[in-house]
Structure 1
Amino acid sequence: MFDKYIFEDPYFFWLFALFPLLIGWYIWKNNKQQATLKISSVSGFKYKKSFLVRLRPILFILRLLALSLIILGLARPRTVDVSSRTKTTKGIDIVMAIDVSASMLAKDLKPNRLEALKEVAAEFVKERPSDRIGLVVYAGESFTKTPLTSDKSIVLSAMNQIEYNTILENGTAIGMGLATAVNRLKDSKAKSKVIILLTDGSNNAGFIDPKIASELAMEYGIKTYTIGLGTNGMALAPVAILPNGAFRYERVKVEIDEPLLKEIAKMTGGKYFRATDNKKLEAIYEEINKLEKTDVEEFKFYNYQEKFRILVLIAIGLLFFELLLKHTLFRSFI
């Protein structure tokens, strides 16, 4: 209830330190005002304090309450309603180009490369509320899964639907995946244009050379971060489809064209990363998230409502009430 209240001048609370002195002064003065009579014996007197005598300290209590309210009023209690509005300058447009070839079902990442990527990439999308994001998928050919959009629910839904299928020609067309991503970004007016290209193999399909696609990205000022996905050495990967439609897995050598990925990143001003397990993949996306920051201005509006007036009015009321009692009910004791 009181968490919304703030005090503009809290140093007035030091005045409460005077209250023990006031109470001591009142007790001393009250004792001095009472007349005394010395006699040898009081056994013949029956004395009982009247009800009004017992209530007399209420005058002092009313005055202390009034002073307390005045001190609270001097401290200027107020409530504040804070509203904020954010303004984003031209943000960052990001296209994620994702390899969906059969090798992405390899189990060196858990549960497999593709599912591990989807989980990490979804978290990356959630942490980019001010940017537009698009998705491109590729194997032996490529297509746009989701055009650039600021609606993260659409991107996340499309990300969740990414899976290996036989619609795309098998293979790894890195050049085509990169070129399609460039095509999504070339007309963008964003202050920064970024491609995150992920693959677990080497360019062995498609009719666009990766170096030509890199030159296109460089011409349009598009930075490309490349990620090689896969463990070092051997990995359990699908090598054939059984008659029942399931994959037959064998341990095969992981072959990623790292020189090509490094060259693409270098030409476009990006950076190359190698993800050999789930944790490293997560760390890579966290680093890219830090490297590509969007400038966001936040404006805060404060609406103050002063609350000292009601306290002062109550204090004045208590003082008048004390004065009324003093000159009516307790008049004979003053």
Structure 2
Amino acid sequence: MSFLHPGWLMLALILPLIILGAVLAYRRRSKAWRQLVAPRLRTQLVREAPQTRRWISLSLGLLGCALIIAAIARPYQGKTTTTEQVNTRNILIAVDTSRSMLVKDGSPDRIATAKAMALELTNTFSNDRIGIIAFSGNSLLLAPLTIDHSSVRDTIGQLDTRIIPSGGSNIAAAVKTAFKTFSKIGHRSNALIIISDGENHNKTIDSIAEQISNGKCAISTVGVGSKEGDMIPDALSPDGKFRDVRGNAVHSRMIPDALIQLASAGGGIFTEANSNAPSAIRDSLAFLESNEQESLQISLPNEKYPWFLIPAILCLISSIIVRSNILSSAKHAPITACLLLVFTPNDIHAATNLERATSAYENKDFETALSSFEAALDQTKGDDRHTIEFSIGSTAYRLKNWPTASRYFSNALLSPNKGLCEAAHYNMGNTLFQSAWSMFKTAKETDQPQAKTQTFQLENLTAAITQLEDAISHYSATIDLNVEHKDAQHNRAEAEKLLKQLKDQQKQKGDQPKQGKDDKPKDKGDKPKDKGDKPDQKSNGSQQSDKPQQGDQDKPPEKPNDGDGQKPDQRDKPAPPNKPQKQQPGETDEAYAARILKENADSETRPVKSQFLRVRRTTKDW
């Protein structure tokens, strides 16, 4: 007899230690009561229990543990070899992974519907060789033809719209990849099943259909999506909609024309994705003959673990019965308490942290509230995390910790709750506005009466402009979700006003490098309205009452000095190279050539400005 996992047998080394501990404990206990009671009174005061039951119970328990260890090691005796004759067909499943498959007119979207349909087809053709092709702008054979359907299912589970970087939808490329794969095998029973929404941005579908008609490959197609369609989502877009190169939101719907044409050319059928689609496709491909493959031999060990497990259970039960007093509630109270602590749901701890955080927030102890909310977040799963993330952002906003507030408000934007998304967008805009506002620094008071001014550092100007632009986009997203949000409309107007002034100031800084005393733009807009709510409410961000003061405007800046009288655009212009001189008397040809090369060497040693390569998007990349 052998063991599949012999390493578990090392646990048997613990059993002698248990025996040694039991013997020492018995001797210590016996010695203790003998010292307490006089020998002449032992017969009257002490009735010694028979130790036979104790040692029998211990022996049965140890034997049961030893048998359990042996069962865990999975003992077996010999192996059984079975031979299976496999008759298969070659079936490739091509799944559309273009961006249009993200449209949520399926359950929940087209790509999820396509993956579910591919899994059902894998189960339907359980005796055939199956491979997986993913295609969008290009196509890729992800899983070669195999009878190992578990690996095929793993490949299907990894499909998403980012698996192929090139955009677009090229059904013809998937057909070509299938033909290339079938040509390497040489069998005649080949079939291709295409799962797509039917959008085809390649104009070679007619020629491909003609090749299919002349070939020996059966093709069936499955359409996913609805004929009404919906907008293509884009998580990176402020309004959540994908836009083409012209800036127009893209509406996608199922177009079955190309799928019907390919199915007709391949002798198969076209069907929409539903519960009857797998059986309909199976019937359409029934005419394909199965190819006899090599025999498959499978060797399985004859496991004998029940021989050890059943006696182990009986020994443990017998041990408990022999020494039944160990079942007393007093001895098991600590064990019960430990089990209650171990199996206490995390939700109870999370609820306690939420109550502590809410109480601290109401008492304006924002530091304690922040730490309690973060502890509750670690113990919370699902969509409730977004609510707690919003609460953390609100608490960090109260503490003027703009980076933390921005990070958690950004996470709350992923919530499926429309009300929470609206509040997160609004508070995100307030946070970015406050972050930009905090870049204004007040100058220190001096001894001169008129020296109290406010200045703005030039190096932070670009960062402030960027944050204001982001704040405006979040205010706009709030208004898109709720057109009656007056505070968002007011704050967006103030942010746009301040942004315009900062951009004008940036332009002046670029034209006039040396400004006067005050570079701060005048007439900044008011700080954004923000009505503070409790962190557990899906509403607007925290309220700030301290408004930065506006700076005084000094005299206009002086005209920058142009240096040596050159125009500004000529200062850094390199001087033209000197004309090469003629060969001097007595100068050799080699020396003359070396001097000419030195005089005409490139004197420009400054680093070359980096140039970013812009990848041109295709007209249709969805």
- TM-score band (shorter)? 0.5 to 0.7
Letter in 1 for 2:129: R
- SS of structure 1 residue aligned to 2:181: helix
Question: May I ask how many residue pairs the two structures share in their alignment?
Answer: 205
What displacement does 1:86 show? Answer: 5.6
**CA 1:255–1:248 in structure 2 vs 1: closer, same or farther (change >3 Å)?**
closer
Counterpart Cα distance in 2 of 1:210 and 1:255: 19
In structure 2, the partner of 1:94 is 91
Q: Secondary structure at the match of 1:261?
A: helix
**Counterparts of 1:257 and 1:236 in 2: how far apart (Å)?**
15
Equivalence for 1:267: 265
Distance 2:110 2:229 in 1: 14
Superposition deviation, residue 242 in structure 1: 1.7
Q: In 1, are the aligned partners of 2:97 and 2:163 still within 8 Å (CA)?
A: no
Distance 1:159 1:263 in 2: 26
Q: What is the alpha-carbon distance in structure 2 between the residues aligned to residue 146 and residue 220 of structure 1?
A: 23
Equivalent-residue separation in structure 2 for 1:231 and 1:257 (angstroms): 9
Secondary structure of the corresponding residue to residue 209 of structure 2: helix
Q: 1:107 to 1:255 in 2, by over 3 A?
A: closer
- 2:148 corresponds in structure 1 to 151
Where 2:91 maps in the other structure, the secondary structure is strand
Contact 1:132 1:150 in 2 (8 A): yes
Tell me which amino acid in the other structure corresponds to 1:292: L
With over 3 angstroms needed to count, the CA separation of the structure-2 counterparts of 1:256 and 1:232, relative to structure 1, is: closer
1:286 aligned partner:
279
1:130 to 127, 132, 152: 127
State the one-letter code of the partner of 2:209: S
* Contact 2:268/2:285 (<8 A) preserved: no
In 2, Cα distance between equivalents of 1:111 and 1:167: 21
Give the conservation status (yes or no) of the 8 Å contact 2:98–2:161. Answer: yes
The Cα offsets for residues 64-93 of structure 1, whole Å up to 9 and x where unpaired, read as xxxxxxxxxxxxxxxxxxxx976444x211
Question: Which residue is 1:162 aligned to?
Answer: 159
Counterpart CA distance in 1 for 2:258 and 2:190 is: 21
| Structure 2 equivalent of residue 69 of structure 1 | none
Segments of structure 2 that go 5 or more residues without pairing to the other structure are 1-81, 244-248, 293-622
Question: In the alignment, which of 226, 229, 242 is matched to residue 236 of structure 2?
Answer: 242
CA offsets 1:200-247 (integer angstroms, 9 cap, x no match): 142214xx7123333333333001112222112132532x44269x95
Residue type of the alignment partner of 1:287: A
Q: Output aligned runs, 1:52-201, within 5 Å.
A: 87-89=85-87, 91-165=88-162, 167-201=164-198
Cα drift, residue 150 of structure 1: 1.2
Cα pair distance change 1:229/1:243, threshold 3 Å: closer
Shift of 1:118: 1.1
| Structure 1 segments unaligned to the other structure (5+ residues) | 1-83, 298-334
SS in structure 2 at match of 1:182: helix
Matches within 5 A, 1:208-223: 209-223=204-218
**Structure 1 residues 295 and 134: CA distance shift in structure 2, 3 A:** closer
Q: Which residue of 2 aligns with 1:74?
A: none
Per-residue deviation, 1:109: 0.8
SS in structure 2 at match of 1:271 = strand
TM-superposed deviation, 1:99: 0.7
Give the conservation status (yes or no) of the 8 Å contact 1:228–1:274.
yes
Contact 1:96–1:196 (8 Å) recurs in 2 = yes
| Inter-partner Cα distance in structure 2 for 1:157 and 1:166 | 14
Residue 105 of structure 2 aligns to a residue whose secondary structure is: coil
| AA partner of residue 284 (structure 2) | L
> What residue is the counterpart of 1:202 in the other structure?
199
% identical aligned pairs: 25
Q: 1:123 to 1:255 in 2, by over 3 A?
A: closer
Secondary structure of 1:165 counterpart: coil
CA deviation string 1:13-58 (max 9, x = no partner): xxxxxxxxxxxxxxxxxxxxxxxxxxxxxxxxxxxxxxxxxxxxxx
Structure 1 counterpart of 2:224? 229
Using the TM superposition, give the Cα deviation of residue 97 of structure 1 relative to its aligned residue in structure 2, in angstroms: 1.0
> CA distance change for structure 1 residues 241 and 95 in 2, over 3 Å: closer, same or farther?
same
Q: Provide the rounded CA distance (Å) in 2 between the counterparts of 1:115 and 1:258.
A: 19
How far apart are the structure 1 equivalents of 2:171 and 2:290? 32
AA aligned to 2:285 is E
Instruction: Report if the CA contact (8 A) 1:136-1:142 is conserved.
Output: yes
Amino acid at match of 1:210: I
Distance 1:186 1:295 in 2: 17
Instruction: Name the structure 2 match of 1:25.
Output: none
Root-mean-square deviation over aligned CA pairs: 3.1
Equivalent AA in structure 1 for residue 183 of structure 2: K
Alignment partner of 2:277: what SS?
helix
> How much has 1:114 moved relative to structure 2?
0.8
Distance 1:94 1:247 in 2: 38
Secondary structure (helix, strand or coil) at the match of 1:272 reads: strand
The amino acid that maps onto 1:143 is L
Counterpart of 2:220, as a letter, is: Y
Determine the structure 1 residue equivalent to 2:68. Answer: none
Q: Is the 8 A contact 1:87 1:296 kept in 2?
A: no
Post-superposition offset of 1:107: 1.1
Report deviation, 1:94: 0.5
Q: Distance in 2 between matches of 1:108 and 1:241?
A: 17
Corresponding residue number in structure 2 for 1:27 = none
- Determine the C-alpha separation between the residues in 1 that align with 2:163 and 2:241: 16
Contact kept, 8 Å, 2:103 with 2:252, in 1: the verdict is no
SS in structure 1 at match of 2:131: strand
Looking at structure 2, the residues matched to 129 and 260 of structure 1 have their Cα atoms a distance apart, in angstroms, of 28
Which structure: greater strand fraction? 1
Letter of the 1:233 partner, please give it.
Answer: E
* Distance in 2 of aligned mates of 1:167 and 1:124: 23
Offset, 1:296: 10
